[in-house]
Amino acid sequence: MRVYKIDDYVLKYRIGHPFETEAVIRDGEEIEKNTMDYFKISQATKLRLIYKMNTDDIVLGLGENQRGINKRGGIYESYCTDDPNHTPDKKSLYGAHNFLIVDGAETFGVFIDYPGRVTFDVGFTHKDYLEIIVDDNNLDIYIINGNNLKEIVKSFLKLVGQCYVPPKWAFGYQQCRWSYEDAAEVENIADSFIKNDIPCDAIYLDIDYMEDFKDFTISHERFPNFKAFVEKMKKKGFRLIPIIDAGVKIEKGYDVYEEGVANDFFCVDQDGKPFVGAVWPGRVHFPDFLNPEARKWFGLKYKTLLDCGIEGFWNDMNEPAIFYTDRGLNKAIKKAKKSEDENLNIYSFFELKDTFIKISNNLEDYKSFYHKVKGELVNHDKVHNLYGYNMTRAAAEGFEEIKPNKRVLIFSRSSYIGMHRYSGIWTGDNHSWWDHILLNIKMMPSLNMCGFLYSGADTGGFNGDANAELVTRWTQFSIFTPLFRNHSAMGTRNQEPFAFDEESKEIMKRAIELRYAIIPYIYSEYMKAVINWEVYFAPLVFEYDDEMSRKTEDQLLVGDSIMISPIYQENVTGRYVWVPEDMLLWKVKKYSDREYEIVKKGHRYLNVEIKEIPVFIRKNKMLILGKHAKNVESIDNRQLDIIAFIEDKTSYIYYDDDGKTYDFKKGKYSEIAIEIEKADGEFKINIDNRGNEKVQRLNFDICPFAKALIRAIFLKEKEKLYEKEKQWNFNAYYIFT
């Protein structure tokens, strides 16, 4: 074991000769140390780390996983899996996010940087033991110290690098469905948004837009003159977002296939021949995304679509999902044939059935192909969790080359820590189940802690049929997730906001309008989180240290100013809420209606009618918002509103930038610093405008600890007078009585 000091808070323990995952972006200096902090370590064929937890410890993190925000009581396996049934017993989903934080007697974070299988037994086998089992003895372990959860997360995020930032329009509402089959149908969906006057920024193209499911092709039959269609749709206000799959169809004459074979860009089997698996198009080869040249080649392929005016993509099936291989299929067929004349009983029948079920995503298949890394063959199983990461990295690096300094929307299904620098993720094939709203709520902060800020679930649920109430309540939660996309599977009931009754449509429309109205806040908080190494979604325990807040699983802090308490149960008109400090409650039916209520710290049953979205503004915090428009680019932010809940003093930084480039990395962005102080019943407002040229007026709703609500208006009165001094570069002093 060799130990490296990354900084005062982070130590790296290197064991054996790990595969370079490129999850971490920082190096350290080797130091003299031969014991590991916190964990007992044992090495045999597998490596085990054991930590005895205290009764009151909570364990957070692990990104895309089942169960709670507090991961205690569960067992989780990092081995990226395409499993469309996210039931509570499942140990693996699509991502491998090996970072967790223990908070209690000791508070520390641990990141297991190993790209094969890792098991996290968080008090499952024995309630008091956290045991981490790694299938190998070559890995890096990072231990992150800090005084509190926020500090630990900050150190971790600095270690793994700055999160991806999509174009600003990608914070708008997005509509997807697997089976918007042709141009006419896509346009029809767009027109329905227009007709119903529901804001929307993007419509997705699922696998049907391709020709025979071949990547980087377009079906000319279903999408004649694709480029013109993309343009036409953009004029209407919608971007089209095509899907790209990992598998490349084996077909003579298909350029991607031909080039991949000619250049050895595909993963190989033990004989060195391109490995064959089957997915959508039937038999495919899998690009070897661990090979930088293959990555470059694949990344540049996105140009075909970028050249048609496409500005966003989603990368699917990149665990990689494998429907079958000849090996698995033949084995099952043989078994079936042999069983033909048998009298199958409970054991033999289920064995036969299992053989068929296990044809897909079979471990033996993952063990039977190889990557070429620096001239050496590496078994896929050992680096399995890096596949989706590197497919998506290929895309992002391609974009950077094809469209330098232009933000392109990209998110992936499979991921590993580090991929968050290149893209976002969506959480895969959930169900139209109420439980999956709750799972979505719990997953968001966990993903954020692992760096994945641009994320969201299929709103309304992917598999299965949804009813209006489910889609409504889910939409009312998703308005807060950076990626806000309604998506459903082929063959299920349609679930666009206008797919149900009039009343539900109206309610969803109001929710989506609220989303657009709070984009100033959402974007500002997202960007500040990115820049300052923070999370956008946090569990209450990040801010409040009372016992209830440590245990609250179904309320979240969104950015710095607000708390939400979504409804995730059917047929209810309210729920219990833990209010960790006095807050200002704004129950939104229509965001133009402003009625607030001060809610005292404590337990409370909150009525939440189907029309309502409760937004809690924290004490001494402000929520900034504007008005909705048909899409993000049409939003007029010359006037913004501020809802402030002030006991004594509060400040807020409103961030904005061009929304299109990465210039913010060079410090090119604007801020408006707003400070409100209450003294002797008067409010003093200070506004410092650092470069925002759009906003001309701020309206304040200030709620003090008094019964009466005071509405204050600050405006750029006498525009001309202040022009020379640069608007707002002065202190405004206003007294409200």
Please report, as ranges, the residues that interact with ligand MIG according to CB under 6 A.
178, 206-207, 243, 316-317, 413, 428-429, 462, 487
3-class secondary-structure state, position 430: coil
Distance CA 48, CA 39 (A): 9
CB atoms within 10 A of CB 631: 20
CB of residue 314 vs ligand MIG: minimum separation in angstroms? 8
For residue 444 the two structure tokens come to: 């968001």
Q: In the chain, what's the furthest Cα-to-Cα distance?
A: 95
In the Cβ-directed half-sphere of 7, how many Cα atoms lie within 13 Å?
Answer: 12
CB of residue 603 vs ligand MIG: minimum separation in angstroms? 39
**What are the residue ranges of helices labelled H in 170-222?**
183-196
For residue 296 the two structure tokens come to: 């470059």
Type of residue numbered 194: I
| Cβ proximity to ligand MIG, 428 vs 497, nearer residue | 428
Distance CA 332, CA 344 (A): 15
| Cβ proximity to ligand MIG, 410 vs 564, nearer residue | 410
CB of residue 317 vs ligand MIG: minimum separation in angstroms? 6
Check if the beta carbon of residue 684 is closer than 8 Å to that of residue 734. yes
Helix (H) or strand (E) holding 175: strand 173-175
Helix (H) or strand (E) holding 426: strand 424-426
CB of residue 215 vs ligand MIG: minimum separation in angstroms? 12
Distance CA 263, CA 523 (A): 42
| Cβ proximity to ligand MIG, 38 vs 356, nearer residue | 356
| Cβ proximity to ligand MIG, 211 vs 675, nearer residue | 211
| Cβ proximity to ligand MIG, 15 vs 278, nearer residue | 278
CB of residue 109 vs ligand MIG: minimum separation in angstroms? 30
| Cβ proximity to ligand MIG, 130 vs 243, nearer residue | 243
CB of residue 500 vs ligand MIG: minimum separation in angstroms? 21
| Cβ proximity to ligand MIG, 74 vs 320, nearer residue | 320
Distance CA 220, CA 308 (A): 13
CB of residue 702 vs ligand MIG: minimum separation in angstroms? 44
Check if the beta carbon of residue 702 is closer than 8 Å to that of residue 646. yes
Supply the DSSP symbol for 162.
P
Check if the beta carbon of residue 113 is closer than 8 Å to that of residue 141. yes
Closest CA to 311 of 390, 407, 405: 407
CB of residue 247 vs ligand MIG: minimum separation in angstroms? 11
Distance CA 227, CA 619 (A): 51
583-588 and 596-599 as β-strands: parallel, antiparallel, unpaired? antiparallel
| Cβ proximity to ligand MIG, 247 vs 614, nearer residue | 247
Closest CA to 306 of 393, 176, 222, 402: 402
- Tell me the residue number closest to ligand MIG, measured at CB: 178
Check if the beta carbon of residue 28 is closer than 8 Å to that of residue 10. yes
Q: Work out the burial of residue 334: count CB atoms within 10 Å of its CB; fewer than 13 is exposed, 13-18 middle, 19 or more buried.
A: exposed
Characterise 430 by phi-psi region: left (phi > 0), alpha (psi -120 to 50), beta (else): beta
CB of residue 300 vs ligand MIG: minimum separation in angstroms? 23
Type of residue numbered 389: Y
| Cβ proximity to ligand MIG, 206 vs 381, nearer residue | 206
Distance CA 301, CA 295 (A): 10
CB of residue 33 vs ligand MIG: minimum separation in angstroms? 44
Closest CA to 280 of 256, 252, 250: 250
Residue burial 644-675, b: 16+ Cβ < 10 Å; e: rest = bbbeeebebbbbbbebebeebeeeebbbbebb
99-103 and 47-52 as β-strands: parallel, antiparallel, unpaired? unpaired
| Cβ proximity to ligand MIG, 113 vs 206, nearer residue | 206
CB of residue 427 vs ligand MIG: minimum separation in angstroms? 9
CB of residue 429 vs ligand MIG: minimum separation in angstroms? 5
Closest CA to 440 of 471, 461, 467, 413: 461
602-607 and 596-599 as β-strands: parallel, antiparallel, unpaired? unpaired
CB of residue 132 vs ligand MIG: minimum separation in angstroms? 29
CB of residue 93 vs ligand MIG: minimum separation in angstroms? 11
| Cβ proximity to ligand MIG, 463 vs 692, nearer residue | 463
| Cβ proximity to ligand MIG, 168 vs 413, nearer residue | 413
- What contacts 90, CB < 8 A, 6 or more positions away? 66, 83
| Cβ proximity to ligand MIG, 215 vs 316, nearer residue | 316
Distance CA 271, CA 370 (A): 10
CB of residue 462 vs ligand MIG: minimum separation in angstroms? 6
Distance CA 265, CA 297 (A): 8
Check if the beta carbon of residue 312 is closer than 8 Å to that of residue 241. yes
CB of residue 210 vs ligand MIG: minimum separation in angstroms? 10
Distance CA 343, CA 326 (A): 27
| Cβ proximity to ligand MIG, 9 vs 462, nearer residue | 462
CB of residue 124 vs ligand MIG: minimum separation in angstroms? 28
Distance CA 282, CA 257 (A): 13
| Cβ proximity to ligand MIG, 142 vs 323, nearer residue | 323
| Cβ proximity to ligand MIG, 250 vs 317, nearer residue | 317
Distance CA 439, CA 668 (A): 37
| Cβ proximity to ligand MIG, 39 vs 178, nearer residue | 178
